[in-house]
Protein backbone atom coordinates (compact mmCIF):
# COMPACT_ATOMS: atom_id res chain seq x y z
CA UNK A 1 0.00 0.00 0.00
CA UNK A 2 2.75 2.42 1.02
CA UNK A 3 4.70 1.45 -2.09
CA UNK A 4 1.69 2.30 -4.26
CA UNK A 5 1.31 5.69 -2.58
CA UNK A 6 5.00 6.44 -3.09
CA UNK A 7 4.77 5.50 -6.76
CA UNK A 8 1.65 7.63 -7.18
CA UNK A 9 3.31 10.61 -5.45
CA UNK A 10 6.45 10.23 -7.54
CA UNK A 11 4.38 10.10 -10.71
CA UNK A 12 2.46 13.22 -9.73
CA UNK A 13 5.68 15.05 -8.96
CA UNK A 14 7.10 14.13 -12.35
CA UNK A 15 3.95 15.41 -14.05
CA UNK A 16 4.23 18.73 -12.19
CA UNK A 17 7.91 19.10 -13.06
CA UNK A 18 7.28 18.34 -16.72
CA UNK A 19 4.33 20.76 -16.74
CA UNK A 20 6.46 23.50 -15.20
CA UNK A 21 9.24 23.09 -17.75
CA UNK A 22 6.68 22.94 -20.54
CA UNK A 23 5.13 26.20 -19.33
CA UNK A 24 8.54 27.87 -19.23
CA UNK A 25 9.16 26.72 -22.78
CA UNK A 26 5.80 28.12 -23.87
CA UNK A 27 6.62 31.45 -22.25
CA UNK A 28 10.05 31.49 -23.87
CA UNK A 29 8.44 30.86 -27.26
CA UNK A 30 5.58 33.26 -26.57
CA UNK A 31 6.52 35.83 -29.21
CA UNK A 32 6.48 33.15 -31.92
CA UNK A 33 3.67 31.01 -30.56
CA UNK A 34 1.18 33.79 -29.66
CA UNK A 35 2.44 37.06 -31.15
CA UNK A 36 0.50 40.26 -30.53
CA UNK A 37 -0.89 41.37 -33.87
CA UNK A 38 -3.18 44.17 -32.73
CA UNK A 39 -3.05 46.94 -30.13
CA UNK A 40 -6.52 48.42 -29.69
CA UNK A 41 -6.69 51.87 -28.11
CA UNK A 42 -10.09 53.04 -26.88
CA UNK A 43 -11.14 56.42 -25.53
CA UNK A 44 -12.23 59.91 -26.54
CA UNK A 45 -9.08 61.96 -27.12
CA UNK A 46 -8.60 65.67 -27.57
CA UNK A 47 -4.96 65.99 -26.54
CA UNK A 48 -3.53 62.44 -26.62
CA UNK A 49 -2.09 61.07 -29.88
CA UNK A 50 -2.76 57.35 -30.37
CA UNK A 51 0.62 56.93 -32.03
CA UNK A 52 2.29 58.15 -28.85
CA UNK A 53 0.47 55.49 -26.85
CA UNK A 54 1.45 52.78 -29.34
CA UNK A 55 5.09 53.81 -29.05
CA UNK A 56 4.90 53.30 -25.30
CA UNK A 57 3.04 49.98 -25.52
CA UNK A 58 4.97 48.33 -28.36
CA UNK A 59 8.07 47.51 -26.32
CA UNK A 60 5.93 45.63 -23.78
CA UNK A 61 4.29 43.31 -26.33
CA UNK A 62 7.31 42.16 -28.31
CA UNK A 63 7.54 38.85 -26.40
CA UNK A 64 4.02 37.69 -27.13
CA UNK A 65 0.67 37.73 -25.39
CA UNK A 66 1.66 35.32 -22.60
CA UNK A 67 4.64 37.40 -21.51
CA UNK A 68 2.92 40.78 -21.26
CA UNK A 69 3.20 42.36 -17.81
CA UNK A 70 -0.17 44.13 -17.66
CA UNK A 71 0.83 46.17 -14.60
CA UNK A 72 3.96 47.52 -16.30
CA UNK A 73 2.02 48.44 -19.43
CA UNK A 74 -0.53 50.31 -17.32
CA UNK A 75 2.18 52.19 -15.41
CA UNK A 76 4.00 53.17 -18.60
CA UNK A 77 0.86 54.53 -20.25
CA UNK A 78 -0.22 56.29 -17.04
CA UNK A 79 3.00 58.33 -17.11
CA UNK A 80 1.86 60.14 -20.26
CA UNK A 81 0.82 63.69 -19.37
CA UNK A 82 -2.83 63.55 -20.48
CA UNK A 83 -3.72 60.09 -19.17
CA UNK A 84 -5.97 60.13 -16.10
CA UNK A 85 -7.01 56.47 -15.99
CA UNK A 86 -5.92 53.43 -17.98
CA UNK A 87 -7.05 49.80 -18.20
CA UNK A 88 -5.05 47.09 -20.00
CA UNK A 89 -6.56 43.78 -21.16
CA UNK A 90 -5.31 40.75 -23.06
CA UNK A 91 -7.71 39.85 -25.87
CA UNK A 92 -7.12 36.26 -26.94
CA UNK A 93 -5.58 35.11 -29.12
CA UNK A 94 -3.55 38.02 -30.51
CA UNK A 95 -4.55 41.47 -29.24
CA UNK A 96 -4.12 43.91 -26.38
CA UNK A 97 -6.80 46.49 -25.54
CA UNK A 98 -5.83 49.79 -23.89
CA UNK A 99 -8.80 51.77 -22.50
CA UNK A 100 -7.89 55.34 -21.55
CA UNK A 101 -9.70 58.21 -19.89
CA UNK A 102 -8.13 61.50 -20.89
CA UNK A 103 -7.50 64.29 -18.41
CA UNK A 104 -10.07 67.09 -18.48
CA UNK A 105 -8.59 70.32 -17.06
CA UNK A 106 -10.84 72.70 -15.13
CA UNK A 107 -8.30 75.28 -13.87
CA UNK A 108 -4.65 76.20 -14.19
CA UNK A 109 -2.55 75.36 -11.14
CA UNK A 110 0.22 77.91 -10.75
CA UNK A 111 2.33 78.71 -13.78
CA UNK A 112 3.03 75.25 -15.21
CA UNK A 113 0.29 72.78 -14.25
CA UNK A 114 -3.42 72.07 -14.62
CA UNK A 115 -5.98 70.50 -12.28
CA UNK A 116 -8.74 68.08 -13.18
CA UNK A 117 -12.10 68.17 -11.39
CA UNK A 118 -10.77 65.94 -8.59
CA UNK A 119 -7.99 68.39 -7.81
CA UNK A 120 -5.26 66.19 -9.29
CA UNK A 121 -2.38 68.12 -10.84
CA UNK A 122 -0.74 67.25 -14.15
CA UNK A 123 1.72 69.02 -16.42
CA UNK A 124 0.92 69.50 -20.12
CA UNK A 125 3.54 70.15 -22.77
CA UNK A 126 2.19 73.60 -23.66
CA UNK A 127 0.52 75.36 -20.73
CA UNK A 128 -0.09 78.47 -22.86
CA UNK A 129 -2.90 76.64 -24.67
CA UNK A 130 -4.99 76.93 -21.51
CA UNK A 131 -4.69 80.61 -20.62
CA UNK A 132 -8.47 80.91 -20.93
CA UNK A 133 -8.98 78.67 -17.88
CA UNK A 134 -9.34 80.21 -14.40
CA UNK A 135 -6.13 80.34 -12.38
CA UNK A 136 -5.71 78.73 -8.96
CA UNK A 137 -2.43 79.33 -7.15
CA UNK A 138 -1.59 78.09 -3.67
CA UNK A 139 0.69 75.95 -1.50
CA UNK A 140 1.61 72.49 -2.78
CA UNK A 141 -0.67 69.86 -1.26
CA UNK A 142 -3.70 72.16 -1.00
CA UNK A 143 -4.98 71.56 -4.54
CA UNK A 144 -8.17 69.64 -3.66
CA UNK A 145 -9.21 71.89 -0.78
CA UNK A 146 -8.62 75.12 -2.69
CA UNK A 147 -10.36 73.85 -5.81
CA UNK A 148 -13.44 73.09 -3.71
CA UNK A 149 -13.35 76.61 -2.22
CA UNK A 150 -12.88 78.12 -5.67
CA UNK A 151 -15.88 76.25 -7.06
CA UNK A 152 -18.05 77.40 -4.15
CA UNK A 153 -17.04 81.05 -4.51
CA UNK A 154 -17.37 80.93 -8.29
CA UNK A 155 -20.94 79.63 -8.03
CA UNK A 156 -21.84 82.36 -5.53
CA UNK A 157 -20.36 85.11 -7.71
CA UNK A 158 -22.14 83.89 -10.83
CA UNK A 159 -25.47 84.35 -9.05
CA UNK A 160 -24.59 88.04 -8.73
CA UNK A 161 -23.42 88.45 -12.31
CA UNK A 162 -19.70 88.22 -11.56
CA UNK A 163 -17.13 85.67 -12.67
CA UNK A 164 -14.09 84.46 -10.73
CA UNK A 165 -10.96 84.19 -12.87
CA UNK A 166 -8.12 83.94 -10.34
CA UNK A 167 -7.83 82.65 -6.77
CA UNK A 168 -4.48 83.16 -5.04
CA UNK A 169 -3.41 81.85 -1.63
CA UNK A 170 0.12 82.83 -0.58
CA UNK A 171 2.51 81.27 1.95
CA UNK A 172 0.82 83.20 4.77
CA UNK A 173 -2.55 81.71 3.68
CA UNK A 174 -3.83 85.14 2.63
CA UNK A 175 -6.61 84.97 0.03
CA UNK A 176 -6.94 87.18 -3.03
CA UNK A 177 -9.52 86.95 -5.82
CA UNK A 178 -9.52 88.54 -9.27
CA UNK A 179 -12.75 88.75 -11.24
CA UNK A 180 -13.22 88.78 -15.01
CA UNK A 181 -13.61 92.58 -14.95
CA UNK A 182 -10.13 92.79 -13.30
CA UNK A 183 -11.62 93.75 -9.93
CA UNK A 184 -9.37 92.55 -7.10
CA UNK A 185 -10.73 91.31 -3.77
CA UNK A 186 -8.30 91.08 -0.85
CA UNK A 187 -9.64 88.75 1.84
CA UNK A 188 -6.54 88.34 4.00
CA UNK A 189 -5.79 85.47 6.37
CA UNK A 190 -8.40 85.91 9.10
CA UNK A 191 -11.78 84.32 8.30
CA UNK A 192 -11.58 84.93 4.53
CA UNK A 193 -14.79 83.00 3.81
CA UNK A 194 -16.74 85.12 6.27
CA UNK A 195 -15.41 88.28 4.62
CA UNK A 196 -16.29 86.94 1.19
CA UNK A 197 -19.88 86.36 2.31
CA UNK A 198 -20.00 89.90 3.70
CA UNK A 199 -18.92 91.18 0.30
CA UNK A 200 -21.67 89.20 -1.44
CA UNK A 201 -24.37 90.52 0.89
CA UNK A 202 -23.45 94.19 0.64
CA UNK A 203 -21.60 94.95 -2.59
CA UNK A 204 -24.68 94.77 -4.81
CA UNK A 205 -26.18 97.63 -2.77
CA UNK A 206 -23.84 100.02 -4.60
CA UNK A 207 -25.77 99.53 -7.82
CA UNK A 208 -24.45 98.69 -11.26
CA UNK A 209 -23.30 102.22 -12.16
CA UNK A 210 -21.20 102.60 -9.00
CA UNK A 211 -19.80 99.06 -9.14
CA UNK A 212 -18.33 99.76 -12.58
CA UNK A 213 -16.08 102.40 -10.96
CA UNK A 214 -14.46 99.92 -8.54
CA UNK A 215 -11.00 98.48 -9.24
CA UNK A 216 -10.44 96.76 -5.90
CA UNK A 217 -12.08 95.81 -2.62
CA UNK A 218 -10.02 95.41 0.55
CA UNK A 219 -11.95 93.18 2.96
CA UNK A 220 -9.14 92.70 5.49
CA UNK A 221 -10.89 94.93 8.03
CA UNK A 222 -12.82 93.57 10.99
CA UNK A 223 -15.89 95.56 9.98
CA UNK A 224 -16.64 96.82 6.49
CA UNK A 225 -14.19 97.18 3.61
CA UNK A 226 -12.34 99.79 1.58
CA UNK A 227 -12.87 100.46 -2.11
CA UNK A 228 -10.25 101.46 -4.67
CA UNK A 229 -11.62 103.21 -7.74
CA UNK A 230 -10.38 102.91 -11.29
CA UNK A 231 -8.23 105.72 -12.64
CA UNK A 232 -10.09 108.82 -13.76
CA UNK A 233 -13.34 107.64 -12.19
CA UNK A 234 -15.41 110.07 -10.16
CA UNK A 235 -15.97 109.36 -6.48
CA UNK A 236 -18.86 107.12 -5.56
CA UNK A 237 -22.04 109.06 -4.91
CA UNK A 238 -22.84 107.65 -1.47
CA UNK A 239 -25.88 109.89 -1.15
CA UNK A 240 -27.32 108.31 -4.27
CA UNK A 241 -26.46 104.84 -2.96
CA UNK A 242 -28.30 105.59 0.29
CA UNK A 243 -31.36 106.80 -1.59
CA UNK A 244 -31.38 103.65 -3.72
CA UNK A 245 -31.46 101.46 -0.60
- Max Cα separation, the chain? 113
This prediction has a pTM of 0.79
Looking at residue 125, its pLDDT comes to 84
Could you tell me where in the chain the CATH 3.40.50.11690 domains are found?
106-244
Q: Are 166 and 137 in contact (CB under 8 A)?
A: yes
Residue limits of CATH 3.10.20.310 in the chain: 32-102
**In the predicted model, what is the mean pLDDT of the chain?**
86
pLDDT tens readout for residues 135-148: 999 999 999 999 99
For the chain, the straight-line distance linking the first and the last C-alpha, in angstroms and rounded, comes to 106
Answer whether CATH 3.30.1330.80 is correct for domain 32-102. no
- What's the pLDDT tens digit per position in 12-22? 666 666 555 55
Identify the CATH number of the domain defined by range 106-244: 3.40.50.11690
Q: Hey, which residues does 227 pair with through a beta bridge?
A: 217
* pLDDT tens profile 47-101: 999 899 989 998 888 888 878 899 999 999 999 989 999 999 999 888 999 999 9
Amino acid sequence: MNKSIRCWSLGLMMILIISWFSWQEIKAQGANWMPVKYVRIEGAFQYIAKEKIKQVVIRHVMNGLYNIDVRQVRQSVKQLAWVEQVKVQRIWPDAVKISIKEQSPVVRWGEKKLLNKRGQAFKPVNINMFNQLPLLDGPVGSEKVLLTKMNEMSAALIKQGMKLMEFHVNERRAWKLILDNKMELKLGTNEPEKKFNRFLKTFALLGTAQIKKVAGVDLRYANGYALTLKEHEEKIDWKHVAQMN
